[in-house]
Chain A
Amino acid sequence: MDPSGNFDVTSMAEGELGLSSPSVVYEEPASVWHRLARNHKISIVSIVVILLFVLGAIFAPLLTPYEYDAVSLSERLMPPSPTHLFGTDEVGRDVLTRMLYGSRMSLIIGIVPTMLSMAIGTLIGMTAGYFGGKVDTIIMRVADIVMSFPSMLLAMVVMYTLGGGTFNVFLTMAFVGWAGVARVVRSETLKLKESEYVEAARIMGVRRFRIIARHILPNCLPTIIVLFTLDIPAAILTESSLSFLGMGVQPPSASWGLMVNAGRAFLYHAPWLCFAPCLAIMVIVLAFNYLGDGLRDVLDPHLQSQ
């Protein structure tokens, strides 16, 4: 205030109201890792387990003295022993070696098609959510159909028509997986579309595609990451099931599902043939599920209640 008693807001704004000093300093929110470590210790354990599996898959040739397809008929169906930790199968191949090589297939099939369906689902879901109207109706009805069709049956049909093999497994799983992603991303987009900062961007003259790319997508990412982590184990299970049914990866390639199928015939004589790959499937699926749950709690408070 100046001496004459006039209330000079302009000078006040600059000086006396404390603008020149920095405003309240906010505490940096704890990083995702910190919050995970504090509230979800099991997800940290899961990350370690997943890393071990990944390392095992990458360094498989260094970790085992055997070849995954080295047949040794003198060593058929040997029980677990120091030389063969998980025993050997019906033609004398080392089970642990085959599991290590098989984890390559399981992890790749867990991750690559899931990424593919994430990308497709996100794109489709955001288009439907943002543009709405007829586009939305058509896309979402197609998604409903894909989702209501038994996915395993659909996968089998595709595999039958296209034949087995890794690439076709990729295609099939992406084809089945996008619909669920599209649904979640669409609802998220619908919510964000009405948010004030998207409105603000529109008011500043930002075009639609830029709004989607810069303002909606980054804010969808936490949801997408959680969905990704939770979809990986589902994909691993689907791959195992397809391979178990003989429609996935073809021998002599190793895959956990294939190994369970092969071991089925020797369930009474050599149970380790089935149990070892089953255990691996269970552990990796559990690890991804726990990690996904942890990430969901940390990244996406909206999903917590579900």
Chain B
Amino acid sequence: MDEILTYAQAAPAETVSYATADGLLSSVWLLVAIPLLSAAVLLLLGRRADRWGHWLGVAAVGAAFVLGLTYFLGLRGLENKSVQLSLWDFIAVGGLHVDFGLLFDPLAGVFVLLITGVGFLIHLYAVEYMAHDPGRRRFFAYFNLFVAAMLLLVLGNNYVMLYFGWEGVGLASYLLISFWNTRPAAATAGKKAFLMNRVGDAGLAIAIFIMFATLGTTQYDEVFNGVGALAGGTVLVLGLLLLLGAAGKSGQFPLQAWLPDAMEGPTPVSALIHAATMVTAGVYLIARSNIIFSANTTLQLVVVSVGALTLLMGAIIGCAKDDIKRVLAWSTVSQIGYMFLGVGLGGAAYALAIVHLLAHGFFKANMFLGAGSVMHGMKDQVDIRRFGGLSKYMKITWLTFAAGWVAIIGIIPFSGYFSKEPIVEAAFAREGWTAWLFGGAAVLGAGLTAFYMTRLFVLTFHGPKRWTTDIEHPHESPPLMTIPLILLAVGSLGGGALLATSVPDWLTATAGLAATEEHHTVLPHLAIFFLAQGVTVLGAVLGWYLFRNGTAIEPQPAGVVVTAARKNLYSDTVNEAVFEKPGIFLTRALVYLDNRGIDGLVNGLAAGVGGGSGRLRRLQTGFVRSYATSILTGALLVVAAFLAVQAGWLA
């Protein structure tokens, strides 16, 4: 009873190889090309496309979904269910060889279906949601651009291609977060997302360079076959850098702060990019690189720790937030923490994490769109303290949100149960005390999730009305918005069971996710089931009990924990102190030196001039003599350095 079947990584001796795409699958590049073309048309035609542009955007993603489904079914007949298509030699010089190629295997396939399927519904929803925005065409262009970049990310057959997509989705996300750039908060949030992502991107870029230096290739198959021969330290560094990249994109500790701020963008953006797809790119990266991560147990421990820490952080902060989208955002951070926990556990849990990712894509997109529908009816109010009693006015939104709610908290038999429960179990299947540590964190996280989601649900749809005075009769959203909601709700309710039974089998054909082995959990299977369900029910009941009568509409004095949670557990403060302040100081110091310092050394008169005055005036401070002095100083230093080298001082 206390044994569960797991899939472990392939034995190192087994080599990874992909068949060449032919027939129908040789046109897999269309998946990327169609949305990209649509984005180009929308951007280039300008205002001329304003009237029909959004439908083109929707149609492009719909077409990509149909194609993706066809290709997916086309994989069934193939032996190892993986094909790659080499379009052209991107870089081929000397020992360097980078292929501009695509790989379509079960892992990429399920991502394609998620991106285009959920993406299609969200596009449809956005047609109505953005109807009154003058920039709707531009919005759909960016949206299509995002879909194209995301598909490129998951379809590439080497790390450089992945990096292209990675940068592309980053750019699209930046453009979409600051879409309403007239709001200062949106512009700031866009910048924050951009900068924090750069930190992660730098990690990924350096990791790719290390692959080149040590393995001489970035093709997935060649890298995976070569990892076994690398030194342990190299694999560890490589994995940590990949993890840094993944953490940046997926909003995981320590780079989690940008994701909740990114909610300043339009709600469909939050649903598609910052809940369902882009933020899960980190999970994809780790699942794709599972052979690297499985090759080093320290690495797996780090990934598991990041996942466990983030899932708890996200859940705790989620309990204290009052902005409906921020609660959902922190919930996303927390749920991706579960996925990282899953991929870090290795073996079968890779597939489990992907299942959770897909299920999460459905129910979180559903809830975000539901939140958008609520905001639509409530004049863009986002504060859950000013909602209440909406179940009578927005029946469809209420019911579909309820579907998302029961799905995310993981009550049997809804989808969260099927996707999250196995991860909890897998956490308990580790060896020694870490099983208790990570299993306990996962269970505690489940309880907290139940609590904050119930709080959100009850405060929004039940209890007394606490609306602002300008709202009299909230209206339900039009059909174009509710139909996607209903479809996503159906997916949220039933998807889990379907996914949990079919997807792991599918994924066995993906490189590294093949063989099976058995693991023992430290608790009996049944005990874990009752523990997790009990904690979940407890959290939900507590949430319902505390907030059934609404809440105060002003912030209340609170204890240490709640205050800390309201302030995002001080992560922003830490970021500011560690990165922002020294950076600003350094820049200012250098500018000061440029404008005044060097001149000041030469001539005290010049010190008073300079600064931020006009161009002409500033140019006057650039005295040739000070330039000559700095050249002379540099020359002396260079000569001295050469002589020091010659004398062997630097050796």
A, B from the same assembly: no
